[in-house]
Amino acid sequence: MPGREILPYWSVDGYRSTHTMTNHDTGSPFAPHTPDETAAMLAAVGVDSEEELFDIPDEVLFDGEFGIAQRSEQSVIDETKAVLGENSDLAEFLGRGHYDHYVPSWVDHVADRSEFLTSYTQYQPEIAQGFLQALFEYQSMLVELTGLPVANCSMYDAATALGEAATLASRARATTGETVLVPELLDAGRREVVENYVAGTDMRVESYPMADGNADVTALERRMDDDVALLYAETPTVRGTIEEQLTELGRLAHATDALFCLGTDVVALALLEEPASVGADVVVGGAGSLGLSTSYGMGLGLFACRERFLRQVPGRLVGASEDTTDRRAYTLTLQTREQHIRRERATSNICTNQAWVALRAAMCIASLGPDGLVELANDCVKGAQELAGKLDAIDGVSAPVHDRHHFREFVVRVRAAPEMRTKLEERGFAVHAVDDHLLQVCTTETNADERDRLVAAMEELA
């Protein structure tokens, strides 16, 4: 504001300034130096200017500009809002590995407390007990949900967690197997990620056939041999079907000495068969649906495994110990697995992870409680069933295509899927077109109120 005199910043002797904090206009608004302070600090260092502090040869000095104008906070907010306003307002019926559930308001408020949000990885545990305990509690919840004794603090997302499981198999297994077997209907993005994670190993990724949306156990039995290092199955699958032969899949994997890795998600775990009980050695999947909005795909990868892989686990682990008052206290532990100590022999390169998302997921799980979480999972089955039933009643539409139980989502046969998808989008609905004749529809409590409108729109278009 030109002309307005701003009171000089001063506090106590030695910090008195005769100038305003000009940085608000000409520098970083988050660097608090007044010109007097800058001058005093330069003098203390023994140089005349900030430039002198930089020991950069002339030939690599940057003398251009980025061409990015400095803007006010209000202007950045207003403009970002305007740009994001270009996103269409659609009722989303999308899933395929990434789901939306309601996040209670208190979770946003408490997780946003700056002591959580602006803290660092807990290298100094004495000053970071709060976050460590929250992560320990998150690990414990996953231990309960998976039945496996070891769960880490987080991976980036379901795809990278699967990638880490594949590299674990390459390290942990004494035999010579070099194949990671994945379902042929695995999400294409997830498959690309796994292929990248095994690029540095001798492993290769191969798919096995599926039958009516589940693993084709007969075909798989023929394929299994000593060359398989890891058998990966999902429940629910990418098409929303609940895998019915998990115990058999676990048996097949172990018969050839392969690891059985199960991909699932945090809500499904509350209801479906416990992974440990079907022989899962490693459980991976997404947990971001509890705690995060859809966030254009930002996630939280869960990772749990059997005790015998403890020293092979990727990422952070929080353990309990005692402090000098003999009280229970928490700390990052078994860090000799990690990159900052083991370098190129680390179990993974992961450092920064999704800790704050794990905190939010734990808060959501705690908020739901066991009955709330099971009820949410039951609703994922019933909601899909009901919506599929209503769509199936439309002439020219059949749903679900697969004769299976479904979780949240299912595949629908229509006459022309891409056209139907486009027209639904014009009417305000986002659904996925699988191919020329198949659509995929996903429903949870967050779009439950839109189900009937979707049915009406599809009836009109069918």
Partner 1 sequence: MRYDQARWTEDEDRYEPLLAEKRSTEVAIDSTDSALPADLTRESLTLPELSEPELSRHYTRLSEMNYGIENGPFPLGSCTMKYNPSFTEDIAALPTGSVHPDRSEESVQGTLELLYRLQDYLGRIGGMDAVTLQPPAGAAGEFTGILVAKAYHETNGNDRTEVVVPDSAHGTNFASAALAGYDVVSLPGGDDGRVDLDALTAAVGEDTAALMLTNPNTLGLFERDITEIADIVHDAGGLLYYDGANLNALLGRARPGDMGFDVMHYNVHKTFATPHGGGGPGAGPVGVVEELAEFLPEPRVRPTEDGDGFELFSPERSIGRVHGYHGNWLVLLKAYAYIARLGDAGLTDASAKAVLNANYLASQIEYDIPFGPFHHEFVASATSDAADVAKRMLDYGVHPPTTKWPETVDQALMAEPTEIETRRTLDALAEAFNAVAAEDESTIETAPQRTAARRIDQADAARNPRLSWQALAENADEQ
Judged by CB under 8 A, the chain residues 309 through 338 that form the site for partner 1 are 310, 316-331, 333-336, 338
Q: Shortest gap between Cβ of 222 and partner 1 (angstroms)? A: 25
List 158, 230, 259, 457, residue binding partner 1 (CB under 8 A): 158
18 touches partner 1 by CB under 8 A = no
Binding string to partner 1 for residues 347 to 366, with x set by CB under 8 A, is what? -xxxxxxxxxx-x---x-xx
Closest CA to 239 of 213, 262, 261: 213
Binding string to partner 1 for residues 383 to 422, with x set by CB under 8 A, is what? --x-------------------x---------------x-
Query: Distance between CA atoms of 274 and 172, rounded to whole angstroms?
Result: 23
Nearer to partner 1, 218 or 277 (CB): 277
Q: Shortest gap between Cβ of 134 and partner 1 (angstroms)? A: 5
List 62, 174, 395, 449, residue binding partner 1 (CB under 8 A): 62
Closest CA to 235 of 207, 211, 205, 269: 269
Nearer to partner 1, 111 or 224 (CB): 111
Tokens for 178, please give them: 């070099």
Binding string to partner 1 for residues 209 to 238, with x set by CB under 8 A, is what? ------------------------------
Taking the mean position of all CA atoms in its chain, how far away is CA 396?
Answer: 37
Handedness of CA 205, 210, 214, 215 (dihedral sign): negative
68 touches partner 1 by CB under 8 A = yes
Q: Shortest gap between Cβ of 256 and partner 1 (angstroms)? A: 25
Helix axes of 417-426 and 451-461: crossing angle, nearest 10 degrees:
120
154 touches partner 1 by CB under 8 A = yes
Tokens for 121, please give them: 């990885």
56 touches partner 1 by CB under 8 A = yes
42 touches partner 1 by CB under 8 A = yes
Return the residue matching tokens 């206009």.
Answer: 25
449 touches partner 1 by CB under 8 A = no
Is residue 249 within 8 A of residue 215, CB to CB? The reply is yes
The letter for the amino acid at 125 is P
- In sequence order, what are the beta bridge partners of 208? 183
Nearer to partner 1, 40 or 455 (CB): 40
CA distances in angstroms from 438 to 108, 259, 441, 448, 461, listed in the order given: 37, 33, 10, 22, 15
205 touches partner 1 by CB under 8 A = no
81 touches partner 1 by CB under 8 A = yes
Tokens for 10, please give them: 């001063």
The letter for the amino acid at 341 is I
117 touches partner 1 by CB under 8 A = yes
Query: Distance between CA atoms of 339 and 443, rounded to whole angstroms?
Result: 40
76 touches partner 1 by CB under 8 A = yes
